[in-house]
Structure 1
């Protein structure tokens, strides 16, 4: 086994081994101290050779793991987030009496998260995605709020719905792949000539669109991220949701132009980019605002993928992965900031708010931040068409939402003005701040999305700066002229779910009563007699 293969095996094997150790209650209580160790092999694997394939199994059944450029971008970024969020979580759990469920689900979600970026075959991908979904739903269930149980059940239910669509798409992919190959690259290459091409694409886009929080099936995000403990919300909003991105980038052959599927996906994505902002600015809870920011940003990523699919542009793969990697780092950092600010008094708040402001405005494309680089990389895919102009407007909208988030964040500070968050929490958050600033630059210089002179050109800096300035002016206007805060339900369209459930219960009771009535012996005999008479009458008429 080569070094690269060993690192890929360890990237999944270490968190999986720690998960198996949870069978011992004594070891389970000690595992949080090792949370930061588990992602280290994945971090090393992201920088290793991408030419090797790891095969686990035999000729009858084997799982295959490999890395490509988008997988390496997302795996490395996710490993960094799991590392520092793990330090945050270990200190977070020290003040909790019941940690067993959190520990098990944390390691399960980490195993699935690392696996989806590494797996190279259809069966392995579905397996790792299922492990990730179960672990993530458990983390949501472990929240302290009154809605945690409902949020966890909703997260799992939506995950199963999405995976049902996805499973149908994967089966059709496998059926169309020549030679019975289950490799993702073979299935993607065979998709254009598949007799079930359109149904396959539709199933994949629906299933992965739900996973990505694409409007209108986005309502699970505010529920889940609002209810989950802070470190769990950080990894779910950052790393877990990117499983849909890597799947789309690997399953779809971008060398072929499919506007019939790409343009609707782009339209939905761009609509979601503005919808998330429009609803997010009506809320005051920082975690809910960040949840709607994820709706907006994932919508933008889906729009980039949709435009690339419509035009058949292969450069979309790296550009979308780079944008998603930046969002992964930033969103995890902002959720950790929420946890730090909640334990920090107003007298100590500036040292937290200033770095957080830089990171948050980076989502809008603040010059010299990773966000500016990500927007610049996506610009080549979107071009100067209508989609490009709408993307610029989304930068303005994102800036408005992030300034609103910063205002809400300051209002959530600890009651004790001199309170200070524990050093472990502050240190983990600060490490993620540095990673969010430095890592995108390192990645930008290493992948084919642009050059340094292009990114630092005065025209590029101005094109990144003016939407942020415009967003700042709009944010000031919003705060000055609004008379009454409009606050929609935390889950907007998801708020109709209780009514749907009640209607379903009534319908089920009615159907159950009808079924019991029909199953009575006298009613069954009468029904059979009437059916026989009707059938006989039809025969007589036919003659």
Structure 2
């Protein structure tokens, strides 16, 4: 393993990069595009090796490159690679059309970034791959000329660049606070608690990665983009792409040292995001938008868990949070494939509808599903006080939102203009079953399965589902009276404010034009009159 591990780490990035290079050689292009779904295979093998044999790394000082794969990263890399392989096999195995080639290049660039964030171990490498997972993803949906897609693309790119700007500033402060000049992530994070720029760096870290995770108030881009994105791209972006923000917080928060103020602030932000995603999500009729708000809510739960760990100085939190996020990768990717299958009328009612319901409720912790294990893994991070009560309430909210999603799923065809590829329609039941089963294979790396199956733990997982069902029943009778919040919520508010600013600017332009026609003497007399009036006032 001393040699195999570093080779697999190098291949994790080198193999997708080779496929990308082949796309620019005309005689190799079609074959490269047809087989690029195999590009994540080395990443999957590297993750499996790290899970079995433990962490390993690769350092290339001449290239200023450091790669490392530990348990939290291996959990996320394994499921992300699986999702990219599964979705890619259903989309990209046929020679691509000219337009598809642009999308395929964007696909490979995003893939490199999506895998690279889990193995990058220095600031420069991480910033590069993080930019790849963020910016080229625009090309996965924004080539569509539809106005709503173009708008979603503009909003997505603006938020991606904003997050990149926050992170660039944060990384500069992190590097400045490391006394020995090292750019390795463990070194700069170890120096962060005593850095004179600690608070500024932490604020920028939360803002930068929070934008990627869709934390309030930077959440509006997520449901807006997912609603406009074709099913295959939505599956990988919602499942694997957004976890770049999760691994960012896991890597750059100094979780081994208690920072109570920052931890409580992050936990509060996470809980606000978790409940906000539910409250807005239940007003959405489009199943893809509902899944977008579900992702907002789930990322809020993850942020709250990390905040509690930061406040407590819990160095063991990364593996537990990574397992929770890994389950979300599998479930959310499979749910988007379910939307594609239902929109293509490729699902028979009955058994498959029940499978989709079980998959959806897995996000709320339905007992005996992978989501149940994810909730069991995260529960120790919330303790037994008020935070634990909020976490349980967020599970009930997730159940409510997922029941709303399940009710809207049969009408997915009303909102999906682009047909999903036939292989994905046929594949989605296998993806759903895999999302329910695979977490059971990964859970032994972070906990004991026997402990999770105790009657007390089963009840802890069941009662929020029952409460969410009661809330869904009550909400159904009031569905017609719910407000229709536009998809994007905070983005829509920002756009309206920007439009008002433009109108105010136009008013000032008209006033400037009017005053510019006055002679200078008239303006002087007006100023003198105003001064005399002020002087004469009692």
- Is the TM-score greater than 0.5? yes
What residue in structure 2 maps to residue 277 of structure 1? Answer: 278
* Residues 1:457 and 2:458 are matched in the alignment: no
Q: What SS does structure 2 have at the residue aligned with 1:439?
A: helix
Inter-partner Cα distance in structure 2 for 1:31 and 1:516: 60
What residue in structure 2 maps to residue 340 of structure 1? Answer: 341
What residue in structure 1 maps to residue 47 of structure 2? Answer: 46
What residue in structure 2 maps to residue 476 of structure 1? Answer: 473
Q: What SS does structure 2 have at the residue aligned with 1:117?
A: coil
Inter-partner Cα distance in structure 2 for 1:5 and 1:514: 67
For the aligned residues, what is the CA RMSD?
A: 2.9
Q: What SS does structure 2 have at the residue aligned with 1:282?
A: coil
Following TM superposition, by how much is the alpha carbon of 1:472 offset from its aligned partner in structure 2, in angstroms? Answer: 1.3
What residue in structure 1 maps to residue 531 of structure 2? Answer: none
Inter-partner Cα distance in structure 2 for 1:366 and 1:314: 28
1:144–1:38 Cα change, 3 Å = farther
1:279–1:94 Cα change, 3 Å = farther
What residue in structure 1 maps to residue 439 of structure 2? Answer: 440
Following TM superposition, by how much is the alpha carbon of 1:289 offset from its aligned partner in structure 2, in angstroms? Answer: 0.5
Preserved CA contact (<8 Å) 2:212 2:242 = yes
1:143–1:89 Cα change, 3 Å = farther
1:401–1:143 Cα change, 3 Å = farther
What residue in structure 1 maps to residue 354 of structure 2? Answer: 354
What residue in structure 2 maps to residue 527 of structure 1? Answer: none
Preserved CA contact (<8 Å) 1:343 1:414 = no
1:514–1:28 Cα change, 3 Å = farther
Following TM superposition, by how much is the alpha carbon of 1:502 offset from its aligned partner in structure 2, in angstroms? Answer: 2.7
Q: What SS does structure 2 have at the residue aligned with 1:35?
A: helix
What residue in structure 2 maps to residue 429 of structure 1? Answer: 428
1:480–1:123 Cα change, 3 Å = same
Q: What SS does structure 1 have at the residue aligned with 2:141?
A: helix
Following TM superposition, by how much is the alpha carbon of 1:483 offset from its aligned partner in structure 2, in angstroms? Answer: 3.9
1:261–1:344 Cα change, 3 Å = same
What residue in structure 1 maps to residue 409 of structure 2? Answer: 409
Residue by residue over 1:238-265, the C-alpha shift from the partner in whole angstroms, topping out at 9 and shown as x without a partner, is 1111111111111122111112111111
Following TM superposition, by how much is the alpha carbon of 1:16 offset from its aligned partner in structure 2, in angstroms? Answer: 1.2
What residue in structure 1 maps to residue 68 of structure 2? Answer: 66
Preserved CA contact (<8 Å) 1:145 1:227 = no
Following TM superposition, by how much is the alpha carbon of 1:505 offset from its aligned partner in structure 2, in angstroms? Answer: 4.0
Structure 1 stretches lacking a partner, 5+ long: 524-543
Inter-partner Cα distance in structure 2 for 1:145 and 1:453: 52
1:197–1:469 Cα change, 3 Å = same
Q: What SS does structure 2 have at the residue aligned with 1:239?
A: helix
Preserved CA contact (<8 Å) 1:338 1:409 = yes
Inter-partner Cα distance in structure 2 for 1:483 and 1:116: 44
* Residues 1:261 and 2:262 are matched in the alignment: yes
* Residues 1:115 and 2:119 are matched in the alignment: no
Following TM superposition, by how much is the alpha carbon of 1:27 offset from its aligned partner in structure 2, in angstroms? Answer: 3.9
What residue in structure 2 maps to residue 535 of structure 1? Answer: none
Give TM-score, length-normalised by structure 1.
0.88
1:343–1:96 Cα change, 3 Å = farther
Following TM superposition, by how much is the alpha carbon of 1:62 offset from its aligned partner in structure 2, in angstroms? Answer: 1.4
Residue by residue over 1:467-496, the C-alpha shift from the partner in whole angstroms, topping out at 9 and shown as x without a partner, is 111211221221134444532111112112
Inter-partner Cα distance in structure 2 for 1:149 and 1:502: 18
Following TM superposition, by how much is the alpha carbon of 1:269 offset from its aligned partner in structure 2, in angstroms? Answer: 0.8
The equivalences for 1:122-521 within 5 A come to 122-143=123-144, 145-344=146-345, 348-413=348-413, 424-447=423-446, 450-506=447-503
Give TM-score, length-normalised by structure 2.
0.89
1:213–1:483 Cα change, 3 Å = closer
Inter-partner Cα distance in structure 1 for 2:339 and 2:17: 29
Inter-partner Cα distance in structure 1 for 2:95 and 2:227: 21
Preserved CA contact (<8 Å) 1:208 1:244 = yes
Inter-partner Cα distance in structure 1 for 2:61 and 2:397: 49
Q: What SS does structure 1 have at the residue aligned with 2:37?
A: coil
What residue in structure 2 maps to residue 104 of structure 1? Answer: 105
Residue by residue over 1:481-540, the C-alpha shift from the partner in whole angstroms, topping out at 9 and shown as x without a partner, is 44445321111121123323334545666889999999xxx99xxxxxxxxxxxxxxxxx
- Equivalenced residue count is 515
Following TM superposition, by how much is the alpha carbon of 1:299 offset from its aligned partner in structure 2, in angstroms? Answer: 0.5
Preserved CA contact (<8 Å) 2:166 2:208 = yes
* Residues 1:78 and 2:80 are matched in the alignment: yes
Bigger Cα displacement from structure 2, 292-301 vs 472-481: 472-481
Q: What SS does structure 2 have at the residue aligned with 1:264?
A: helix
Inter-partner Cα distance in structure 2 for 1:403 and 1:145: 30
Q: What SS does structure 2 have at the residue aligned with 1:164?
A: helix
Following TM superposition, by how much is the alpha carbon of 1:143 offset from its aligned partner in structure 2, in angstroms? Answer: 4.4
1:25–1:490 Cα change, 3 Å = farther
Inter-partner Cα distance in structure 2 for 1:230 and 1:506: 38
Following TM superposition, by how much is the alpha carbon of 1:280 offset from its aligned partner in structure 2, in angstroms? Answer: 0.7
Structure 2 stretches lacking a partner, 5+ long: 521-538
Inter-partner Cα distance in structure 2 for 1:28 and 1:472: 51
Q: What SS does structure 1 have at the residue aligned with 2:49?
A: coil
1:79–1:171 Cα change, 3 Å = same
